[in-house]
Chains A and B, each alone.
Chain A
Amino acid sequence: MLSRTAENLFWMARYMERAEATARLLTMGQRMAILPGAHHRDEWRSVVRATGAGHQFPEGTIVTESDAVSFLMLDADNPSSIRSCLLKARANAKSARTMLTQDMWEALNDGWRKLDSYDVGEARQQLPTLIDWVKTRVMTFRGAAHSGQLRNEGHDFLRAGSALERAQMTLRLLDVKYYVLLPETEVIGGNRDHYQWTSVLHALSGSRAYHHVYGGTYTPWQITDFLMLNRLFPRSVAYCYDQLAYRLNRLAGWHDARAACHDTVQEMVAALEKLDSGEIFRFGLHETVQHGLSMTNRLGAEIAQAYHFG
Chain B
Amino acid sequence: MVHLAVALDGAGWHPAAWREPDARPDELFHPRYWGDLATEAERGLLDFVTIEDSFGPGPDRTDRVRGRLDAVLIASRVAPLTRHLGFVPTAIATHTEPFHLSKAIATLDYVSQGRAGVRVRIASDPADARHFGRREFPVPLPDLAEEAGDWVEVVRRLWDSWEDDAEIRDAATGRFVDRDKLHYIDFTGRFFGVKGPSITPRPPQGQPPVAVLSHVPEIHRLAARAADLVFLTPHDTGQAGALARELGDLLVFADVEVVLDETEQAARDRRARLDDLAEHSSDALVFTGTPAQLADHLLAWRDAGLSGFRLRPAALPHDLTAITRALVPELQQRGAFRREYESTTLRGLLGLDRPVSRYAGATR
A and B: interacting chains: no
